[in-house]
Amino acid sequence: MRYTEYHAGKAVIKDKNKLSEAMEKLARLEDAEDTNVLSRWIPISERLPEEEEYILLSFANYTGLDIGRYEKDGENDNFYPGDEEETYASYGLIVNAWMPLPEPYREAE
């Protein structure tokens, strides 16, 4: 979930009622940077990713990796390949861990 939008080149919070959540997310990101967590696998038993964010996924029953997304559907946690509507579970794949995608390559100017 994106908590901010830009006005005149500055990030501002969209909903002041979400300020506490946004600060918690920022603190987790700062902690992750400090401990290099951004480059390690995060078991889904430890923490789930933000909804609708593209992430790198690992599977308990498949050696390949894939880019997908997470959505909470009522009481169910679902992972989907890319923009597909069918879950990994419908293909018999069990997601066991995830990590944020790295920043895209940008050539130095």
Q: Between these two residues, 16 and 82, which has the higher pLDDT value?
A: 82
Tell me how far apart the alpha carbons of residues 48 and 106 are, in angstroms, rounded to a whole number.
29
The whole-angstrom separation of Cα 3 and Cα 60 is 32
For 25-31, which contacts have Cβ atoms below 8 Å and span 24 or more sequence positions?
Answer: 25/50
What is the predicted pLDDT for the residue at 5?
72
pLDDT at 1: 64
The answer on pLDDT for 65 being more than 70 is yes
Determine the average pLDDT of the residues in 67-88.
92
Over residues 12-55, the pLDDT tens digits come to 777 778 778 777 777 777 776 655 555 699 999 999 999 989 99
The full set of domain ranges for the chain reads: 1-40, 43-104
Backbone φ and ψ of 27, nearest 5°: -60, -40
| pTM of the shown model | 0.63
